[in-house]
Structure formats: structure tokens, C-alpha cells
């Protein structure tokens, strides 16, 4: 059970931070509709984090802490690739 909730905390934190990073890029670049939809992803991931996070121990804390840094780096990469494609094609 602890490994399962550690995985869920990792995934939800990854998605939350990914979506927050993406939200920043979307709003700064005027993508209103995508920012609107992305907010639903932020809320969903945040619900999971808030549900599992308060009782986290050991591997669960590790999963929570590992998800954020990977999520933001992936968001930056994905957005730059997406913008690069739009500019080039």
C-alpha cells in the first residue's frame, strides 16, 4: 500500500507541477482556451496531492518530492517543443 500511494503521490505531484508550469507558459503567451482546460488538470492533481500528502511517510515523501522537479522540467521541454513546432510549421 505504501508503494502504491508513493507512486500516486509521485504521479499527482508530477502532473500538478507539470500543469502549473504549463499554465504559466500558456497564460504568458495568451492561450486562453488551453489555460482554461489546463486549470481542470491542476485542480484534479491537487485534489490527489491534498488527499494523500498530509499522511505521507518514507517513500511517499520521496515520491512527492521527486514528482515536482521532474514535472517542471518536462513542462518546460514540452512547451518549448510545442512552440517550436508552431513557429516552424
Residue 89: per-residue pLDDT: 59
Mean pLDDT of the residues in the chain: 92
| CA 22 and chain centroid, separation | 8
Which tens digits make up the pLDDT trace of 1-47? 678 899 999 999 999 999 999 999 999 989 999 999 999 999 999 99
For the chain, the structural domain boundaries read 2-88
Between 65 and 4, where is the model more confident? 65
Query: Is 90 exceeded by the pLDDT of residue 75?
Result: yes
Contact 27, 36 (CB under 8 A): no
Residue 88 has pLDDT above 70, yes or no: no
CA distances to 15, 22, 48, 49, 67 from 1, rounded to whole Å, are: 21, 31, 16, 16, 19
C-alpha cell at 36: 482554461
Amino acid at each position: 500500500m505504501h508503494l502504491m500511494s508513493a507512486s500516486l503521490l509521485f504521479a499527482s505531484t508530477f502532473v500538478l507541477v507539470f500543469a502549473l508550469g504549463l499554465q504559466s507558459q500558456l497564460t504568458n503567451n495568451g492561450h486562453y482556451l488551453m489555460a482554461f482546460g489546463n486549470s481542470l488538470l491542476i485542480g484534479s492533481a491537487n485534489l490527489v496531492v491534498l488527499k494523500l500528502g498530509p499522511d505521507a511517510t518514507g517513500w511517499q515523501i520521496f515520491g512527492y518530492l521527486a514528482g515536482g522537479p521532474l514535472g517542471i522540467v518536462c513542462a518546460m521541454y514540452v512547451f518549448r517543443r510545442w512552440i517550436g513546432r508552431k513557429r516552424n510549421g
